[in-house]
Amino acid sequence: MTESTAGTAVSARLTEAIAATAEDIAELLRAHPRAGAPIPGATWSVGEAAAHLALANLLMADLAGGLERPYGDGTPGSLAAANAESLDAYPERDPAVLAEAIVRHAAAFTQAAAARSAAEPVRTPLGPMDLGTLASYLLTHMLGHGYDLARALGRPHMIDRERVELSLPFLLTAMGRVVDPVAAAGRGGRYTLGLRGGRRFGVVIEGGTATVGQEPPERSDCTIVAEHVTFFLIALGRCTPWQAVARGGILAWGRRPWLAFGFPTHFKAP
């Protein structure tokens, strides 16, 4: 059981962060309603990314309420196809309308989650997890796309230290599920990962798979410690290790410190 599911319900810190992040994104869209603005490094526009967020929040609210909602098979290709299909079926691109939908569906999620145990299992687009981890998934998903929207609109993003820490239950759960077996094959290593001034955990890559532990592994080959926002952006593929080093957001040491630069290439985010 992760930290987020230690009690009988999803933690208040996490539900409050979900509500606040949804409102931050909505305010960004209301204040800068440029639906056609391109998302840097992506094929989506602001309107398409906002529509995707509205749909994803609704999907996760339904899952929190106990509904079965098949959505791809967890592989990057299937999730991309599911995203494209859902966007084609939902033509709304008005940022003001989508802002309200993002907030409304985030509230529906927290309301549904409040009636269930955080330890209750649910099936998600990235496989089974408990409800508390699904809440962390929702927050992570909003922060990632919220960051994209902020960049597209030239505004500050909404990622901060506390929100990154609340994203960890999902990030640690997902890490073992998004390994690129081709990239990871023959490139094993024992890693200690950590947040600057915060917790440390372990990842062992072997045979094209990754095993994530709540504690660092014995005889770690490489220790990677990153500032919170930098860690989050690397995890979601929004920042490379070289960019992180240039901005002073990451440090690496150990018996094989050079492994740090290849570590993100072992994974393929959906």
Burial level of 229, CB count in 10 A (0-12/13-18/19+)?
Answer: buried
CATH number assigned to the domain comprising residue 49? 1.20.120.450
Q: How confident is the model at residue 207 (pLDDT cuts 50, 70, 90)?
A: confident
CB 79 within 8 A of CB 71: yes
Q: Is the pLDDT of residue 270 over 80?
A: no
- Same domain for 154 and 59: yes
Q: In the structure encoding, which two tokens stand for residue 48, read together?
A: 């398409």
Residue matched to tokens 């084609």: 88
- Same domain for 51 and 106: yes
CATH number assigned to the domain comprising residue 218? 3.30.1050.10
* 189-195 vs 222-226, strand pairing mode: parallel
Residue 6: its pLDDT value, please?
43
- Give backbone dihedrals phi and psi of 55, rounded to 5 degrees, phi first: -65, -40
Each residue's pLDDT tens digit, 174-193: 999 998 888 888 788 999 99
Domain count of the chain? 2
Which residues 6+ apart lie within 8 Å of 258 measured at CB?
222
Q: Which residue from 189, 172, 184, 234 is spatially nearest to 208, judged by alpha carbons?
A: 184
Q: For residue 217, how far is the Cα from the chain centroid?
A: 24
Q: Is the pLDDT of residue 26 over 50?
A: yes
Q: Is the pLDDT of residue 44 over 80?
A: yes
**Residue 172, in any domain of the structure:** no
Q: What's the alpha-carbon Rg for the chain, to the nearest Å?
A: 18
- Same domain for 186 and 157: no
Q: Is the pLDDT of residue 2 over 70?
A: no
- Same domain for 21 and 107: yes
- Domain range for 191 is 181-266
- Same domain for 188 and 155: no
- Same domain for 50 and 22: yes
**Residue 170, in any domain of the structure:** no
- Same domain for 192 and 85: no
**pTM, rounded to two decimals:** 0.94
Q: CA 245, CA 250: separation in Å to the nearest integer?
A: 6
